[in-house]
Amino acid sequence: MLATRTEQRSAEEATELVIAGESVVLVPLRLVECFSNKWWRLNNLYWIIDEQGRRVKFRPNGDQEKLYDALWHLNIVLKARQHGITTFVDLYFLDDCLFIPDIEAGIVAHHRDDAAKIFRRKVKYPYDNLPAWLRRQRPLLTNSKAELVFSNNSTIYVATSLRSGTVQRLHISEHAKICKKYPGKAEEVKAGTLNAIHVGQIVVVESTAEGRQGDFHDWCRKAEGLAKEGAVLSPLDFKFHFFPWHENPTYSIHPHGVVVPTEVRAHLDKFQAATGVKLTDGQIAWYTKKVLLLGWDTMFREYPGTPEEAFNATVKGSYYALQMARMRQMGQVVDLLPHIPTLPVNTAWDIGHSDTNCIIFHQRLHGENRLVDFYYNSGEDLSHYAKVMQDKGYVYGEHILPWEGDSAHKIITGQSAVDRLRELLPGQRVHAVAANIGINEGINSVRMMMPTLRICKTKCAYLIDALDHYCKAWNEVTGDYHDRPVHNWASHPADALRTLATGFHFIEGVPDPGRNPAGRDWLRRGRRGAQAS
């Protein structure tokens, strides 16, 4: 805990306030003690624009008060929407800059429009509406659209990235979106800005979730783990803060006339049983209307009740979001799916050298494509993967590899992966998919195949996670998604499934669809077969 509502004073603040209080006309001496108390200042000095667009005096709500009391040096905040965390953190930092000399506070937003809006509404407006005496005591030396420099040599500014310099206060807003859409900026934050923060300063990284990827997810999970363990935090450990939807008192409506569907009721009953939270009828009515309007994925992402809900929501821009949702609804993602010893096991690969290698283990049963096992590793030679396959003891059918072209493996070893695997697995049937099947065509083949899939959750958890997170790259220029995938951890398992879909003719024994389009109808035959079975 850095401060309490009754104890937050520093020698610099007290000295500065005494100076400010020399003139009884400007600051009555009886108020000097009040002005030396940060919690009092936050409750009495600042005016903001609320969500209805009204000018109101800032009064911390319950979640803001909770964050104030629990604030640590490094803070990671997972939140539902509209808890006022951004407003509170920026006012906290503005107050530090006004009352402590030589403080530099930086605010990082995920794009320029948000940066401009944050600075205008949450920094500049509160300063412009301070009492006149305080603005006279803290005149601006620099007054721009992105930076305020005060007469005590303290500075607060906003940017979309901080490449250099050292700050004593750092607020990173919507960091999950930065990680997802602007990975280069996320790397700058980690390697540059955070690395330049000296021990004992204050950092707040906050966001709604954007799936199980990037630094925000990883930092949250690590910090949450430390919290559950009751670990004593060092100044270099993130402290985890979570603000779920049901803690916002405005998320409630009159329940009269609201019919709660069975699916919503079942979800909320399960949530209450698991968490011990007792929802009011008004909260249940509000949640019902929201989920019917937004859908489950958006609801989990924007208004999570638990960290698991937040991170399990489908990622925006995901190629297979609809298909994965349908598969779960149809019971195609199962806890256990043991391999059938009497059926051959086929493998589909994504080949890398320093990158991750992935192998999907597949069986075909009455038109159903069963993904019974999965393996991945990196930095290993193909001999390692051949041994893994042999150790599993499966009876193998076909092994399907991606088309290599000028792959790293071929360039480094001088031998194609297909030829090398044939040497390592003598007598096995090893193939490569056709060279003329494009990425988008392959993604469409996967989508067509997904109604026939059945996946083992226990052994293929990493693959399932990847299919949820395999998404389009973000185009900073157009503010929309590219028609090409992001190359990250999720692309390797997803590419292995694309290998299976585009090379399935080797398993079925039909002509190569890259040379004979008529061979593509195996997918339609497979779907009918799966439905019939």
Query: What is the per-residue pLDDT for 285?
Result: 97
In tens, the pLDDT along 222-248 reads 999 999 999 999 999 999 999 999 999
Beta-bridge mates of residue 485 = 472
Query: What is the per-residue pLDDT for 19?
Result: 39
Beta-bridge mates of residue 382 = none
Task: Report yes or no on whether pTM surpasses 0.85.
Answer: no
Query: What is the per-residue pLDDT for 495?
Result: 94
Query: What is the per-residue pLDDT for 381?
Result: 87
Q: Say how far apart CA 50 and CA 45 lie, in whole Å.
A: 16
In tens, the pLDDT along 32-88 reads 567 789 999 999 999 999 888 899 999 999 999 999 999 999 999 999 988 899 999
**Low-confidence spans in the chain with pLDDT less than 50:** 6-26, 405-406, 408, 411-412, 513-533
Q: Which domains does the chain have, with CATH numbers?
A: 11-243 (3.40.50.300), 247-307 (no CATH), 329-532 (3.30.420.280)
Query: What is the per-residue pLDDT for 5?
Result: 54
- Which own/partner contact pairs does 437-444 have at CB distance under 8 Å and 24+ positions apart? 437/403, 437/502, 437/513, 437/514, 439/484, 439/485, 439/498, 440/483, 441/502, 442/498, 442/501, 442/502, 443/319, 443/485, 443/498
Query: What is the per-residue pLDDT for 498?
Result: 94
Query: What is the per-residue pLDDT for 15?
Result: 39
Q: Strands (DSSP E) along 302-367, which ranges?
A: 333-334, 345-350, 356-365
